[in-house]
Amino acid sequence: MYAGTNKGGTEAIVAAERLVLERRAQLDGALTAASVVESFPLAIDRIMGEGGLWSPETAASAFLQANGDITEAVHLIRAHRSTLPRLEFSEPLDPRELQILRRVVSTQRQPDGPILLGETVDYTARIIHEGTDLPLPIVDELDGEPLSHPPDEPFLRFRDQLAEKGVLVDRDTGADAEPFDIQLKAAELPAQRSAWLSAIAQADTGGLINIWYQSILGTDGYATENVTLGEVRHGRLPVRVQHPHTGEAVEIGRIRVSETEAVAHLGGLRGEDPTTYDVGYAMALGHNERKTISGATLDIAAHRFRGTEDGKRLQQILMHTTDGLSASGFLEHLKLPHYVTFQSGLDAAMAARAEADALEHLAEDPDENATTPIATAAATERNDR
């Protein structure tokens, strides 16, 4: 916090908080948590994903309190989450139970199951329009047939299709390690897969994209062409816990998640089988496709290069530098008073400058009577030599 012992420090803190509260008061109920959830769904999903807490209303309240600053809203969510008791551990989520809201398959023209574009602006023109009128009419039918959501039917996921074809690399190590909980334990290196996947799910989206982009740029500065997405999905998953009396798994609600499967052809690196493909995976809360796309690709790299210097470096980056709250916290603290350490360094630099000037002056005129302690000491040392 700002040093209250400075001149007017306490008054400045109170005045700064008042400015924020006055701006919020001017809204006069125009924006509520419910309206923010409906109006800014992607921002709310990002806050929940980076904050590690599924609660749209709480995320919306943090968004308003932070004046729309997503990083500050994440900070509020993390602080709030730390006060909540952990009542129960859920059963492992099964992505095959996903109720699809959006599914994009880049590797097949006619994939198994439906392709759903869902709610997205990926295919609309990037033209700003003003007012409340929609730029295009809402279409209820196509070629005389009413538009309808295709029925939810079981379908083969991308990795399952590769497994059926016999070209999926076997990642089975013979041991199913207990998932690493990054919320309760500090990051450890070398990291296990569950640790870096958890870090990816909670990472700052922009930071993760930057790391991914660096990893795929070739020596000529252009992105390599071996980056392929198997599937990108967004939908609802049931959350289950064990009933305290019966011990049976019961559904307590559903959350929305995004998940991506990326694919890489193994080209014989480090004894790899060139007839196989590896599939990377990432999942995040809400509609967070950019995070899961970059994360799935980095999952492949972290696994393939594990045990090497490049792999150790990538794990270190994923586990220690992708958390947006940690990075922003370190950056924000630079705005706090640092006058003591700065003045100390400045005094040392000025003393060193004075000594250098005295020695330079003495070297130019060695016969001049030295009157300063520094010059006298330098002359004595010269005579000794």
Give the mean pLDDT of the chain: 83
Tokens of 68: 């729309």
pLDDT band with cut points at 50, 70 and 90 for residue 201: very high
Is pTM beyond 0.85? Reply is no
The pLDDT of residue 296: 93
Q: What is the mean pLDDT of residues 340-351?
A: 90
Peptide bond preceding 111 in cis form (omega within 30 of 0): no
Task: Return the bridge partners of 228, or none.
Answer: 263
pLDDT band with cut points at 50, 70 and 90 for residue 241: very high
Q: Give the residue with greater pLDDT, 43 vs 335.
A: 43
Residue recorded with tokens 């064990």: 242
Tokens of 364: 């130019």
The pLDDT of residue 157: 86
The pLDDT of residue 222: 62
Helix/strand/coil for 42: helix
- Range with the lowest mean pLDDT among 104-113, 149-158, 302-311, 356-365? 149-158
Residue 148 has pLDDT above 50, yes or no: yes
Q: What is the mean pLDDT of residues 158-169?
A: 89
Tokens of 92: 């492992």
Return d(Cα 222, Cα 190) in angstroms, integer. Answer: 30
Residue 164 has pLDDT above 80, yes or no: yes
Helix and strand totals (H; E) in the chain: 13, 6
- Strand ranges for 2-133 from DSSP E: 99-105
The pLDDT of residue 13: 82
Cβ atoms < 10 Å from Cβ of 257: 24
Residues of the chain with pLDDT > 70, as a percent, come to: 86
Residue 4 has pLDDT above 50, yes or no: no
Q: What is the pLDDT of residues 301-316, one digit of tens each?
A: 888 888 888 888 998 8
